[in-house]
Amino acid sequence: MKKRKILHALLIACLLFPAMIAGAQHTASIDLATVRNMHSQLNGINVSAFYHFNERLIGGVEMNRFFASKHVKHEEMVELSSWDFDVNFHYLFPVSKTLRLYPLTGISHTSEREYSIAHEETSFQRFWSFNTGAGAVFELGKWAPHIEYMFTWGKMNQRFLLIGISGGVIPARPVRRALSGSFFGSPERSRRIWRSKKEQLNIKADIISFTAICFFFLFLLS
């Protein structure tokens, strides 16, 4: 058990490191949040990395870790905990200078652990779900607080409420000005900048892929 916890910690570090690199280079963002599973009455943390395809469309991978909590089930005390791994896409609608609303869709995989205290037995449920929901993000400079409600459709329909903060989002307007040549001068220089931007986008895609692989191994060890 101790070895498994160490492996979890190492893989979470692998997840955060490339996401932070991507955020530092301003084409992705990392999110940290608290999350509540209202179906199973579990509280946990959310760590996610999102790639910004443009000003409106973003997509990424998310991990929810719900900590162990005691519940009464069929007149018996049990301990519940779970891991959720999601791939979600958001489409942002600007409402004001700082507020954006978004619908979300995606898929998730849940691994739920139930431990019977009286019988000292452990059982697992693993299943896929289809995600829908909506959220709001407040763009306040470098940091962006957000709130999100998600409903999952599958073997076990679940509801989630998430409150957190994002960082490292790409500033889209300066990039457009750079690519147009109006800010940096000559068209040739603009073409060089465009090629450089394309190379950076390829690097970020590799970083996001690596992050997804980290999520996969976390799932295998959960």
* Residue 67 within a domain: yes
Is residue 21 in some structural domain?
yes
How many structural domains are present in the chain? 1
User: What does the pLDDT read at residue 21?
Assistant: 47
Token readout for 107 is: 């898929």
Residue 93 lies in a domain: yes
Q: What is the span of the domain harbouring residue 79? A: 2-170+209-221
In this structure, is residue 201 part of a structural domain?
Answer: no
User: Is the per-residue pLDDT at 92 higher than 90?
Assistant: yes
Element housing 7 (H / E):
helix 2-24
Residue 189 is assigned to a structural domain of this protein: no
Which amino acid appears at position 144 of this protein? A
Residue 36 lies inside a defined structural domain of this protein: yes
Q: What is the pLDDT of residues 170-188, one digit of tens each?
A: 444 444 444 444 444 555 5
Rg (CA), the chain: 20
Q: Tell me the two tokens of residue 57.
A: 């469309």
User: What is the model's pLDDT at position 134?
Assistant: 97
Report d(CA 22, CA 33) in Å as an integer.
19
191 belongs to a structural domain: no
pTM of the entire structure? 0.64
CATH number, position 152: 2.40.160.20
- Taking the C-alpha atoms of residue 101 and residue 86, their distance in angstroms, rounded to an integer, is 20
Domain assignment present for 128: yes
pLDDT at 135 exceeding the cut of 50: yes
Range picked from 4-18, 60-74, 135-149 for highest mean pLDDT: 135-149
